[in-house]
Structure formats: structure tokens, C-alpha cells
Amino acid sequence: MLSDAAYMERALLLAGRARGRTTPNPLVGAVVVTPDGVVAGAGCHERAGEPHAEIHALREAGAAARGATLYCTLEPCSHVGRTPPCVERILESGVARVVAAVEDPNPLVAGRGFLRLRQAGVIVDVGAGDAAARRLNRPFFSAMRRGRPYVIVKAVTSLDGRVAAAGGGPARLSSSATDRRTHALRAEVDAIAVGSGTMLADDPLLTVRGVFRGRPLTRVVFDRRLRTRASARVFSTLDAGPIVIVAGPGAPAGAARALESAGAHVVAAPGGLTDALRLLLPMGVQSVLVEGGPAVHAALWREGAADAVRLVVAPRALGEAGVPWVERAVAPWASWRHLAVEPSGGDVIIEADVHWTD
């Protein structure tokens, strides 16, 4: 018979299969193991409104669940949401023991599921695979505990740390292989975001291309003065998902009306980018890939709102006249953690945690 850690690892792998599909719910996997070590049932939560992972696993296990151990990557829910509480179904199944990776940070659960199980005589053990489970659900934990989405800063720089040619003109830096990986990441997050400078300089489409995405992608433009043009190319892609433009107080009303007529949803944030990010949670956004530009990235770091970074370094230089990325003093690279470096089509991709706390 395998260890709790081994069975939990299988549950975590199952949870990851639904990456990019479950928001506003977390990624959850579950495995039912009989007393003699046979996996009788397994499943993951596929998307919001559909059965939770525990339900899939228990249905597959059937009568074999009686006296078995249920491994789940997150505390089973104890409240009625879009689906009935999993705890009651677990009790009905006759499961004797529940092993959960981590407590659910949702205030509607937050230990109540464990309490209900223990009160009914079920053995509950918590902690197997906890670090991996938290990492898998960083967007969900950020939404629940920080009140804002999880933010990934993504930048493409030259060897000499530039993101654009002299004068701010666009410069083709990343390879086709790296671009495919960028679109794969876009397919997983809830939203991508840019600043008004990027909109004016690059006029991006902000869509997922070459990779399947089964739900709309929210596109966000941080634009305090509403400089985005109503003729921008992004407005030709409204079928890909909503376009949210976050303005500052006192932004021109006429510009707001023009952008709304083009198809945007214009909202005003009273403070900085952290306030703007908090406005996105009610829109179903728990993870944001912020792709540019340098001013937005610097502001995120100054406000402590950058959670992770994906930095692509291309094998060419743009020279001193090129537009630099964020200064080292603003984004202290030496403090990045869990650094991963990988080649990609001639480029180098650097991924790291800027900070990660519960």
C-alpha cells in the first residue's frame, strides 16, 4: 500500500488537468482508496457549476467507498453553493477517513468541513501535499485572502534589458516557440492586462491564438486618462471575451462614452493598481497575466502586487536608446524565489515567485 503522500500526489495531478477552467472555484482532485490499497475511484472538478472532485471519485467508487480513505487536495465543502455540500455525500458514502492537503480559505468553509466530518466520526488528517496544493491554487488563495487576483508579470526583453526600440517603437524579440508558450499561458489565466502605453504603441489584439481556450478571456487595459482609441484592434475581438478599461478619477466622460460604444466596460479605480485589481474579482477574475508595459510593471512592484514573473530574454541587443524594462531597484531580482530557467527557441524563459504568502 502506498503512502498518503503518494495518493495525494495522484489527486494533485488530477486537479491540474482542469487548469484554466474552474474559476471562480479552485482546482481540486480526489482519490478513493480501499483499506487494501486499491484505488476505487478518482476525479477532478472540471468547471464551476459541475460536480466537485469528491463527488466524481465517490460515484466511481460506489459501494467500495465504505470504510475507504478519501484523498482530496482541498477541504471538502460544507455549504450549499451551485452544488450540494460534499461533506454530506462523503458521510453518506461510509468513508472512514479523509486526508486533505489544505484547509479551504473560503470563509464559507474555513474548517467547517473538517469539523462536520470529525463530529460524525470520520478520521480527518490534514497536511499531506499542502505546499503543492497551495501552489496549484495560488489564484484562489489570493482572491480569498488578499481580496485581489493573483498577478503574473510577463515581459520580453533584449539581452541588454530593453523592451522596445528607440522611441518606443515595437521590436520583434521573442521566437515563435516562445510565443506559443505565451499563448498557452494566456489560455490558463482568467485575464490578460496591459497599460495604455502598450495599447497606443502596439495596438494588440489580446487574444489566445493557436491554443484551445474553452471560456471567454477578459482583456484589461489600465488607462487612467482613457487614452485608448475606440478604433483599437482589440474591439474587433469582442467575441473572445469582455474588454475592461480601468480609468482613474476624473477621466474624460466623452472618452468613456466612446470606448463603451466600441464595446468596452469602463470602470473607475479610486487609487492605484491594487484598487484596480480588486475591481476585477467580482467579474470572475482570479488570475491576471500583465503583459506590459514597463510603467505598469513598475507600479505593480511598488505596490507589492506582483506575485510571479515570467521574463523572456531574447538573444539580441537593442542598444542604449531602447526602452528599458523595470529598474533593478524597483524589481529586486535577487529576492525572486523558486527560480526556473529554460531555453525556448533561442530565447531564455525565467520564471520565479516574487512573493508567496498565505
Query: Are 136 and 107 within 8 A, CB to CB?
Result: no
Q: Which three cell numbers stand for residue 249?
A: 478619477
DSSP H/E element including 274: helix 273-278
Q: Which three cell numbers stand for residue 90?
A: 462523503
Is 54 catalytic? The answer is yes
Q: Which three cell numbers stand for residue 13?
A: 495531478
Cell match 472512514: residue?
A: 96
Q: Which of 9, 46, 50, 54 is catalytic?
A: 54
Class of residue 247 by CB neighbours under 10 A (exposed 0-12, middle 13-18, buried 19+)? buried
| CA torsion angle 188 191 195 196 (round to 10) | 130
Cis amide leading into 24 (omega within 30): yes
d(CA 156, CA 316) in angstroms, rounded, equals 11
Query: Are 320 and 161 within 8 A, CB to CB?
Result: no
Query: Are 46 and 62 within 8 A, CB to CB?
Result: no
3-class state of residue 210 by DSSP: coil
- Please give the positions annotated as active site: 54
